Structure 1
Amino acid sequence: MIHKVNRVVKIASEKEIVISSIKVALVVGVILNSINQGEKLIALDFKHLNFLKLIITFSVPYMVSTYASVKVKLQKQKV
């Protein structure tokens, strides 16, 4: 089990996967934050901006992209 976790973490930390996931998180995060809090962002209303939502809205696409990349790479290694 620990060996598998170490393998997953190693793959998830690969430069190409990290860069790809960051790109996805930036694009999707900007779109989702614009939808969810766009009026506050445009008005620069930082007092009423929900920073937790802002961070989560970028984190989730990063994690999903990383998960998908790791899963594909693990499946290719089995073949």
Structure 2
Amino acid sequence: MKRAVDIAIEKEIVISSIKVALVVGLILNLINQGENLITLDFKHLNLLKFFITFTVPYLVSTYASVKVKLNEQRID
């Protein structure tokens, strides 16, 4: 478990996951709350959904990267 956390906080993985989260999160937010974002209607924007929509792709990307690195280490 500690090894997985160490990998998850590596600079390369964090940066990669942030990039994925920004692209995927923006697309998903536009799909789900696009009318409020385009019109800048922040009063009706669901902020919890907004931030979760960025968090989920970040976590999925990080998980996938950690899994790949752990599998590579087992092979070596």
Q: TM-score range by the shorter chain?
A: over 0.9
Instruction: Identify which of 5, 13, 23 aligns with 2:9.
Output: 13
**Is 1:58–2:54 an aligned residue pair?**
yes
Q: Which residue of 2 aligns with 1:73?
A: 69
The alignment partner of 1:62 has SS state of: helix
Instruction: Identify which of 31, 38, 42 aligns with 2:38.
Output: 42
- Which AA in structure 1 matches 2:60? V
Percent identity of the aligned residues?
76
Deviation, 1:15, is 0.3
Deviation, 1:29, is 0.4
- Which AA in structure 1 matches 2:73? Q
TM (normalized to structure 1)?
Answer: 0.93
Instruction: Identify which of 13, 22, 25 aligns with 1:29.
Output: 25
Count of aligned pairs between the two proteins:
75
TM (normalized to structure 2)?
Answer: 0.97
Deviation, 1:51, is 0.3
Mapped partners of 2:25, 2:19: distance in 1: 10
The alignment partner of 1:48 has SS state of: coil
Which consecutive residues of structure 2, in runs of 5 or more, have no partner in the other structure?
none
Mapped partners of 1:8, 1:76: distance in 2: 13
Which consecutive residues of structure 1, in runs of 5 or more, have no partner in the other structure?
none
